Chain A
Amino acid sequence: MTKIGVLALQGSFREHITILKKIGVEAVEVRLPEHLEEIDGLIIPGGESTTIGKLAVDFGLFEKLRAFGREKAIWGTCAGAIFLSKDAHRQQPLLELMDITVERNAYGRQIASFEMDVEIPALKKVSPNDAPFHAIFIRAPLIASVSGGAEILATLPDGRIVAAQQGHLLATAFHPELTNDDRVHRYFLKLVG
């Protein structure tokens, strides 16, 4: 049976685990390098990217996560998307696994956090429900550009990129773990295989 790890250094890992369990998937917390050995795919949750990056370095997870992502599926939400990127226009540890650049807090401070329906055409692969996805953006990063093997999965009506995919790697600037809609989680499970 597929086992998904959720990086549990800091942030919204409990919410991800709740959704995974609801759709019948075994989910475990990942805090140390050895926890990566038993899982088939990894979610890096929302949180503070500087904190998650620092703890990953300090507990010897950084290179292991990089190696994991070269072979297996990883999905980053918000801070997790920043962590997967190759450039965040700032000095902080980044896995540089995806050919995307991000701009942190691109929409402004907390007071500008917002909710919005977003069209994600790729979700049709996992659900006949073609309703837009209700996306929650909290001090969200912007995916400023995609290049190389990365492709755009979703944009806001004004064209700003909010989700991208590169093979088995997935990045969303918003938080599906804060909703009751499990379609992005099920889409990620398809990438895990």
Chain B
Amino acid sequence: MESQISTFTTKKGLAQMLKGGVIMDVVTPEHAVIAEEAGAVAVMALERVPADIRADGGVARMSDPKMISEIMESVSIPVMAKARIGHFVEAQILEALEVDYIDESEVLTPADLHHHIDKHAFKTPFVCGCRDLGEALRRIGEGAAMIRTKGEAGTGDVVEAVRHARTVWGEIRRLENMPPEELMAFAKEIGAPYELVKETRELGRLPVVNFAAGGIATPADAALMMQLGVDGVFVGSGIFKSGDPAKRGEAIVKAVTHYNDPKILAEISRDLGEAMVGRNVTELPESEQLAQRGW
């Protein structure tokens, strides 16, 4: 009875265990403890939340391994960390640190404009962003074990998260109604691997877990994304850029569990203090739109 370590089933499986949960961006061990106590299912360890990366400008890279390790030591829940798109050495370092998930993320400055990381080559599972079904299936084809719609990180504006989730689901619904002979042309049209297109059609959803990310700032935002059909949410700047992170974090956790119960949502949305200030995505110049990074 041989054991097989770190298979695609166990990689995908961890994401299945995170479903119905909230993954929170944290920049210190103290934040991580607040997140865990608020009920986060995992934390994303990074040096600056997306709103600060936006404000500071410059090149955004993988975080300091010392800071990531300190966060890993401070909590019992899974810890994720970000590598730049295409920067497979940053990913190798994160794997050596034994982080639980690697986010190949458009929030950092891309290291490769043509190629994403070959994620099959790693034992550590990856989550990647997408704006539509083709992008999601390309990432899964490269080995991603979890997908998140990109939204527009660091804005506190949920409009792009909604657009991306609706786009993915809309394309899946279109696919489900397609006769088999049209699948190859559809795969060509969206630039996705044929086998994954077929699998998505059979399942009626993506072959891996799909969270929402990018712009979620309130319990209502989180519940909106859940009602649109995602499996859980990432909240970046929305918690620790708000007036009362512990209270807001806890409320967003509860909103993801009770996303279909407006009475409970009304109760937990009360008196949360200031939400993050936010920036309207429609006022962002194209050069500042992070979701455009990657393909």
Contacts and interface: CB of A to CB of B under 8 A. Distances in A.
Contact of B20 (A11, A50, A54): A11
A50 B77 contact: yes
Nearest to A138: B13
Contact of A110 (B16, B20, B100, B253): B100
Nearest to A15: B16
Given A47-B41, A112-B6, A55 B254 contact: yes
A178 B98 contact: no
B20 to A, nearest CB: 4
Contact of B17 (A8, A12, A59, A115): A12
Contact of B18 (A15, A48, A104, A108): A48
Contacts of B4: 114-116
A51 B21 contact: yes
Contacts of B2: 116
Interface residues of A, number: 42
Contacts of B1: 116-118, 132, 157
Nearest to A137: B10
A15 B261 CA distance: 22
B287 interface: no
B280 interface: no
A100 to B, nearest CB: 18
Interface in A58-115: 58-59, 78-79, 90, 104-105, 108-115
B229 interface: no
B282 interface: no
A114 B41 contact: no
Contacts of A136: 9-10, 13
B278 to A, nearest CB: 27
A13 interface: yes
A11 B101 CA distance: 17
B159 to A, nearest CB: 27
A112 B123 CA distance: 9
A115 B2 CA distance: 9
B7 interface: yes
A51 B41 contact: yes
B40 interface: yes
A105 B36 CA distance: 16
Interface string A11-30: 11111000000000000000
Contact of B253 (A47, A51, A117, A132): A51
Interface size class on chain B is 35 or more
Contacts of A14: 19
A140 to B, nearest CB: 10
Contacts of B13: 113, 136, 138, 175, 178
Contacts of B40: 51
Contacts of B17: 11-12, 46-48, 78-79, 138-139
A129 B99 CA distance: 39
Interface in A129-166: 132, 136-139, 157
A44 interface: no
A2 B280 CA distance: 52
Interface in B36-72: 36-37, 39-42, 72
Contacts of A43: none
Contact of B19 (A12, A115, A118): A12
B294 to A, nearest CB: 24
Given A10-B257, A111-B123, A47 B20 contact: yes
Interface string B71-100: 010001110000000000000000100111
A79 B123 CA distance: 23
B258 interface: yes
5 contacts: A8-B20, A10-B41, A12-B16, A111-B5, A116-B1
Interface of A: 8-15, 31, 46-48, 50-51, 54-55, 58-59, 78-79, 90, 104-105, 108-118, 132, 136-139, 157, 175, 178
Interface of B: 1-7, 9-11, 13-14, 16-21, 36-37, 39-42, 72, 76-78, 95, 98-101, 123-125, 253-254, 256-258, 261
Given A111-B123, A114-B3, 9 more contacts: A8-B257, A15-B16, A109-B78, A112-B5, A114-B10, A116-B3, A116-B4, A138-B10, A138-B13
Give the 3 A-B CB pairs with smallest separation, nearest first.
A113-B10, A110-B100, A116-B3
